[in-house]
A and B are shown apart, each in its own frame.
Chain A
Amino acid sequence: MATSSVSKGCFVFKPSAKKKKKTLSLESYFVQGCEDAESSEIRFRLCQELWDEIKTDTEVLQDELNRTILDSLLDFTRKCSSTRQNSDWTSQMRASEIPTAALMLGVNVPDHDMTFQSLSDMLKQSVSPHVASVQAKECGALKHLMKKVLERLMDTVVVVDDEDEEENVETSPRVHRSMHCSLGILCDWYTARTKKSPTGTPGKKRSSQVRDEQQQPPVVIIFKDLEAFNPRVLQDFILICSQYIDRLPLTFIFGIATSPSTIQHMLPHSVSSLLCIELFQSLSCTQHLATVIDKLILASRIHFKLNGKVMQVLIGVFLYHDFSVRNFIKGLQLALLEHFHSQPLSVLCCKKKQALFNVTQLSKPNLDRIRQLPSFKRYVEKQEAQEQVNLMTDDSHLKEVCQQLIKDLHKYHKNYYPILRCLHTLTSSLPRYPLGKQIRELYLICLAKNVWENEDYQSAMKLVKMLAKGEMVSLLQKCVEILQLSKSKKMKNALVQLEELLAKFKQLDTATEMTPTVEASIPSPIKNLQKKTDLFQLQKTLLEMNESRRAKRLSPFENLRNEALEFIDNLVKSHLSPPESQPLYEVCYYSSSATVRRHLNATPRTSIQAALSNPYYYLQNDSLKSEDGTVSNTAPDICIAYKLHLECGRLINLYDWLEAYSTVVSAAEGNDQDSENFGKVDEVKHARFIRAVSALEFLGFIKSTKQKTDHVARLTWGGC
């Protein structure tokens, strides 16, 4: 806070009323500065509901994706503890080894926490109450690791020497004097715990019956990030543990991001021979993403949509930068928030009933907004004159139309995704994947423009035309299954037709039994095409096939196949038109990819450079407006210094720099060129210059050098 006083001294500032106001609620944050305030509450509520839905969905997804591996881990631990108790020859032979699970999680580290959380929960529930998970950054030294493990297992405070924690320990000093952090303590504790009756503490109820049937629940220690651990610490810890293995049924779980061979890198043989390592591979994050997209994006029940560009950005961030699904979801959340915050018409982006109701509630400005929507304009132009006038003038009429349009939009979505899936099933198995292997790629294509105008689509269709009968039928069968899921009536009768087609194929079999020659005459060329991989070959074969087809009359199977393709093609044409074609699509589709990119994939350096080279961009001051990228001499000192330093080489002579600077500045002060003290360095200028330079140094553009004291070195390169 600034004062007008120039005297040094300390000033007391009474906290003003604004300061005193309690922190804003989420809603009020949301409402602040988003246009069209009256509908904002509704939008906030909608946004909240939608987000909660998405959140819960993702969590469910996460769980069922991890289920398999977690289960295998669980019965690994169970098996180990059981083998330790029974005493057949083999288990005797490896009695001294600590069972260890190496859990491969992939490099998307941010996602791991959830996995470990659920893992330890499940372990606690079903295997053993004694689970401790440790992270590398909290155990730099052996004693800290010990301390953490003991504390987490016994949930008490353990004293490590040389740091005095006498105070914050509630237990009497005598007791915890003996509580040094050694595994011996843990052993005693463990024996005490296992001896006393299983139904001791109500907290452990769930695990109690487990404890009954196996008297020795294992002690599980989870190392969340193995790579980051200090090898020496880990080795010593394992060595110690191995001395207690007979008394303490330990089990380790290593969380590994890169590859299992890191274990061998970290542990010498003397240590690794104490472990009995088993590998567990979690599913790859790309599959994970695929499922997430399938469940969240390609679902008609979630009405908020992303347009092609935004999808592109999100997926790009995922594939190019971090394999983190969590961040993908966050991106989705951001888009959601932005949409509801910036787009007043997003009131209509919700369940159908609600939307129709909201349409009736639309205010005048919102209706005008609707009229302004490009998609709506396009719609209007299609109508005849009288109707156009009505739409532009009559609000009530507009509302009715809007309701209709909203309905259409919902229908559109209902039909869109089933067809998309059908198309994907048909094309995903083709050689060279003309329409992509993953459904997300196809989706992006479809979002961009009319898919049927895409030449990849054409070639894909050609390839499908060459499918052998069996494949064809099976694919169509799959499509049928997909269509059966959807309830809209269009899909229903599509389903009917498809089934008819299939039936025809079936009876074709019976027909071909008497005339097998036809079928024999066409060995499905797709087979020998599978191996051909270069495009040229492919087209050649396609061509000659067309030739041959033209040459001879089509077999009934081929007729049927073309028919089927016709059918599919029509479906695609009628339902897979890009969202832009739909009126009022802006209501549901979030389109500003720039914002998302700016938030998710920031470019600090470029923005700093932009600020320095073009200050007007940030502080909108007309005096700073400059053409052709030159910095006006009224710009802030740092900008001027920066501009000047761009013209220098690797080493900058500070004095020359200062000279140049003062010239520019005094030109700005407007004292005339030929006055004798023009460009003189007075101490004010000097001070300002020094400040600017140190700021530049702080930003990492320059640094002082050893070899020349009056020079600084540039850390940037080029004159840009």
Chain B
Amino acid sequence: MLKLTCFPTFSHFAVDSHIIMSKRKARDAHLPVGECIKQVQQILRERFCERRLPDRLEGVEAQYKHLLELLRRTAIHGESNSVLIVGPRGAGKTTLLQCVLRDLQKEEKVQKNLLQVHLNGLLQTDDRIALKEITRQLHLENVVGDKVFGSFAENLAFLLEALKKGNRSSSCPVLFVLDEFDLFAHHKNQTLLYNLFDVSQSAQAPIAVVGVTCRLDVLELLEKRVKSRFSHRQIHLLSSLNFTQYLERVWTQLSLPDSFPDKKFAQEWNAGVKTLCEDKSVEEVLQRHFNSSKDFRSLHMLLMLCLSRVSVAKPTIKPADLLEASRMCFADTTANMLHGLSILELCLVIAMKHLNDVYEGEPFNLQMVHNEFKKFLHRKSNSMYNFEQPVVMKAFEHLQQLELIRPVDGSSAKVQREYQLMRLTLDHSQIMEALQKYPQCPTDIKQWAMSAFG
């Protein structure tokens, strides 16, 4: 463990073993640039991919304390408990929990005592699977294996039984972590949740149930009997940080720990980061990001993109990189797709837009669109684009394949394709923007698109 000294912000990151090694060897040796860059990539990537836990969390100390306290009670005094960690995606719920657990593990009493069960709503999609998983994580297959499985509750009871007469006389506390908690609420009459909460209430084996979810309305999903058994403890992670803090966070996220083998390089780098953060244009960009979302993950994505542009040739992050990165983040994907369409498909899209304008967004079918298109062709008497019906049909199909248009009802099998009712999933501005960017777009088509009437 490092002592928290000179640069408080820099020491937020634990040091992984091989850096320590290199430190031992070459405390003040200058590594070649390539090596440094490699190290930088190494450390920052781990950070951005959230593979490494921060040493201390900033901004959520209260929640941290609260959770730690709760879990310690369970772990040490064998109090049952149940709590929900609620917060938007990428707000750092899991990180919080992980940190708490890590720090909990430091107490040796906990270490040898506490059993952990990690479930994820994405994986354990129903209670049978969940139960199997629990059994497995508690290493009880051999015990259960020969037993004939009865009802779900019985099995769970059996499990807890097994825990009771587990390794030692006293039953050791079990920690259930339910990630994507809301998904568990969709399981068949919420048996698992019911039983877990039930046990956590009654004075049976001490267990703590920690649910992690991004749904603020999660309690509405619970049935009454389940909800009643839940201790309505919720830990909210609604980050209320202002822009300066946000900038601070960017800085900390980018900067290297002082444990970095090549001190000189690290200082240069951090200085570079500092200047970066002070740059005006960068600030604007970050402002935009801040307004759109202030959670860790979107920030990480942005920084990852920046980092990917760092190379031996260019060992620092320039403002340009950040701008480029944010451009990538904010790119309008559908507009990008429109760019690649053929003229014919574009014409159809325009025709649809006109239909939408005329019939206030009523659904349309290919016949109508083709009709509209023909009208245009008659007005311009150029035979350039009058294709046969089948060709137009193919173009229409392609649009549907790209999901730029969407069938109104699912029952497409019965209807002929040219008569199937569709809706356009693009809006006016997107089309216009795409038209502007379109390479070699004929002017008459541009005009047609502009023109108010179809």
Tell whether any CB of A sits under 8 Å from a CB of B in the complex: yes
Chain A residues engaging chain B, CB cutoff 8 angstroms: 261, 264-265, 268-270
Do residues A270 and B398 form an inter-chain contact, with CB atoms below 8 A?
Answer: yes
Q: Give the nearest-CB partner of A269 in chain B.
A: B394
| Between-chain CB contacts (< 8 Å), 14 pairs | A261-B390, A264-B390, A264-B393, A264-B394, A265-B417, A268-B394, A268-B397, A268-B398, A268-B401, A269-B394, A269-B397, A269-B398, A270-B398, A270-B401
Bound-complex Cα distance A150 to B404 (A): 37
| Interchain nearest-CB distance for A162 vs B (Å) | 15
Interface SS of chain A: helix
- Chain A positions within 8 Å of B417 at CB level: 265
- Chain B positions within 8 Å of A264 at CB level: 390, 393-394
- Chain B positions within 8 Å of A268 at CB level: 394, 397-398, 401
Bound-complex Cα distance A78 to B393 (A): 34
**B375-404 vs A: 1/0 string, CB under 8 Å?**
000000000000000100110011001000
Bound-complex Cα distance A270 to B397 (A): 9
Bound-complex Cα distance A268 to B393 (A): 9
Bound-complex Cα distance A610 to B417 (A): 44
Q: Give the nearest-CB partner of A230 in chain B.
A: B413
**B411-431 vs A: 1/0 string, CB under 8 Å?**
000000100000000000000
- Chain A positions within 8 Å of B397 at CB level: 268-269
- Chain B positions within 8 Å of A261 at CB level: 390
Q: Give the nearest-CB partner of A231 in chain B.
A: B413
Bound-complex Cα distance A264 to B393 (A): 9
Bound-complex Cα distance A268 to B398 (A): 8
Bound-complex Cα distance A270 to B401 (A): 9
Bound-complex Cα distance A261 to B418 (A): 14
Bound-complex Cα distance A264 to B416 (A): 13
- Chain B positions within 8 Å of A269 at CB level: 394, 397-398
Bound-complex Cα distance A261 to B393 (A): 12
Q: Give the most central of A261, A265, A268, A270: most B CB within 10 Å.
A: A268
**Leading 3 A-B pairs by shortest Cβ distance:** A268-B397, A269-B394, A264-B390
- Chain A positions within 8 Å of B398 at CB level: 268-270
Given A261-B390, A265-B417, A269-B397, 5 more A-B residue pairs with CB atoms under 8 Å apart are: A264-B393, A268-B394, A268-B401, A269-B398, A270-B401
- State the interface size on chain B (CB cutoff 8 A): 7
Q: Give the nearest-CB partner of A273 in chain B.
A: B394
Q: Give the most central of A261, A265, A269, A270: most B CB within 10 Å.
A: A269
Q: Give the nearest-CB partner of A268 in chain B.
A: B397
Interface of chain B residues 70 through 87 with chain A (CB within 8 A)? none
Bound-complex Cα distance A261 to B416 (A): 14
| Interchain nearest-CB distance for B63 vs A (Å) | 44
| Interchain nearest-CB distance for B343 vs A (Å) | 16
Q: Give the most central of B390, B393, B394, B401: most A CB within 10 Å.
A: B394
| Interchain nearest-CB distance for B138 vs A (Å) | 29
Bound-complex Cα distance A269 to B397 (A): 8
| Interchain nearest-CB distance for A276 vs B (Å) | 17
| Interchain nearest-CB distance for B407 vs A (Å) | 13
- Chain A positions within 8 Å of B394 at CB level: 264, 268-269
| Interchain nearest-CB distance for A263 vs B (Å) | 11
Q: Give the nearest-CB partner of A261 in chain B.
A: B390
Bound-complex Cα distance A270 to B398 (A): 8
Bound-complex Cα distance A261 to B417 (A): 14
Bound-complex Cα distance A268 to B390 (A): 10
- Chain B positions within 8 Å of A265 at CB level: 417
Bound-complex Cα distance A334 to B393 (A): 49
Bound-complex Cα distance A186 to B417 (A): 34
- Chain A positions within 8 Å of B401 at CB level: 268, 270
Bound-complex Cα distance A265 to B390 (A): 9
Q: Give the nearest-CB partner of A266 in chain B.
A: B417
| Interchain nearest-CB distance for A608 vs B (Å) | 31
Bound-complex Cα distance A270 to B417 (A): 16
Q: Give the nearest-CB partner of A232 in chain B.
A: B413
Q: Give the nearest-CB partner of B418 in chain A.
A: A265
Q: Give the nearest-CB partner of B393 in chain A.
A: A264
| Interchain nearest-CB distance for B60 vs A (Å) | 45
Bound-complex Cα distance A270 to B400 (A): 12
Bound-complex Cα distance A682 to B397 (A): 66
Q: Give the nearest-CB partner of B396 in chain A.
A: A268
| Interchain nearest-CB distance for B232 vs A (Å) | 41
Bound-complex Cα distance A144 to B189 (A): 34
| Interchain nearest-CB distance for B439 vs A (Å) | 22
Bound-complex Cα distance A269 to B390 (A): 10
- Chain A positions within 8 Å of B393 at CB level: 264
Bound-complex Cα distance A269 to B401 (A): 10
Bound-complex Cα distance A351 to B401 (A): 69
Q: Give the nearest-CB partner of B398 in chain A.
A: A269
| Interchain nearest-CB distance for A102 vs B (Å) | 15
Bound-complex Cα distance A269 to B221 (A): 45
| Interchain nearest-CB distance for B340 vs A (Å) | 14
- Chain B positions within 8 Å of A270 at CB level: 398, 401
Bound-complex Cα distance A270 to B395 (A): 11
Bound-complex Cα distance A269 to B399 (A): 11
Bound-complex Cα distance A138 to B51 (A): 50
Bound-complex Cα distance A265 to B397 (A): 10
Bound-complex Cα distance A265 to B415 (A): 12
Bound-complex Cα distance A268 to B394 (A): 6
Bound-complex Cα distance A583 to B390 (A): 64
Bound-complex Cα distance A265 to B393 (A): 9
Bound-complex Cα distance A101 to B393 (A): 23
| Interchain nearest-CB distance for A315 vs B (Å) | 35
| Interchain nearest-CB distance for A506 vs B (Å) | 57
| Interchain nearest-CB distance for A268 vs B (Å) | 4
Q: Give the nearest-CB partner of B395 in chain A.
A: A269
| Interchain nearest-CB distance for B310 vs A (Å) | 38
| Interchain nearest-CB distance for A258 vs B (Å) | 14
| Interchain nearest-CB distance for A85 vs B (Å) | 32
Q: Give the nearest-CB partner of B397 in chain A.
A: A268
Bound-complex Cα distance A270 to B399 (A): 12
| Interchain nearest-CB distance for A271 vs B (Å) | 10
| Interchain nearest-CB distance for B305 vs A (Å) | 31
Bound-complex Cα distance A270 to B390 (A): 14
Bound-complex Cα distance A264 to B394 (A): 9
Q: Give the nearest-CB partner of B400 in chain A.
A: A268
Q: Give the nearest-CB partner of B391 in chain A.
A: A269
| Interchain nearest-CB distance for A235 vs B (Å) | 10
Bound-complex Cα distance A264 to B389 (A): 11
Bound-complex Cα distance A611 to B397 (A): 54
Bound-complex Cα distance A228 to B76 (A): 69
Q: Give the most central of B397, B398, B401: most A CB within 10 Å.
A: B397
Q: Give the nearest-CB partner of B394 in chain A.
A: A269
- Chain A positions within 8 Å of B390 at CB level: 261, 264
Bound-complex Cα distance A52 to B393 (A): 53
Bound-complex Cα distance A269 to B398 (A): 8
Bound-complex Cα distance A144 to B444 (A): 51
Q: Give the nearest-CB partner of B417 in chain A.
A: A265
Interface of chain B residues 27 through 45 with chain A (CB within 8 A)? none
Bound-complex Cα distance A268 to B345 (A): 14
Interface of chain B residues 98 through 126 with chain A (CB within 8 A)? none
Bound-complex Cα distance A261 to B390 (A): 9
| Interchain nearest-CB distance for A305 vs B (Å) | 49
Bound-complex Cα distance A269 to B393 (A): 10
| Interchain nearest-CB distance for A142 vs B (Å) | 15
Bound-complex Cα distance A497 to B394 (A): 68
Bound-complex Cα distance A137 to B401 (A): 27
Q: Give the nearest-CB partner of A272 in chain B.
A: B394
| Interchain nearest-CB distance for B324 vs A (Å) | 33
| Interchain nearest-CB distance for B23 vs A (Å) | 50
| Interchain nearest-CB distance for B341 vs A (Å) | 13
Q: Give the nearest-CB partner of A264 in chain B.
A: B390
Bound-complex Cα distance A269 to B402 (A): 13
| Interchain nearest-CB distance for B87 vs A (Å) | 38
| Interchain nearest-CB distance for B378 vs A (Å) | 26
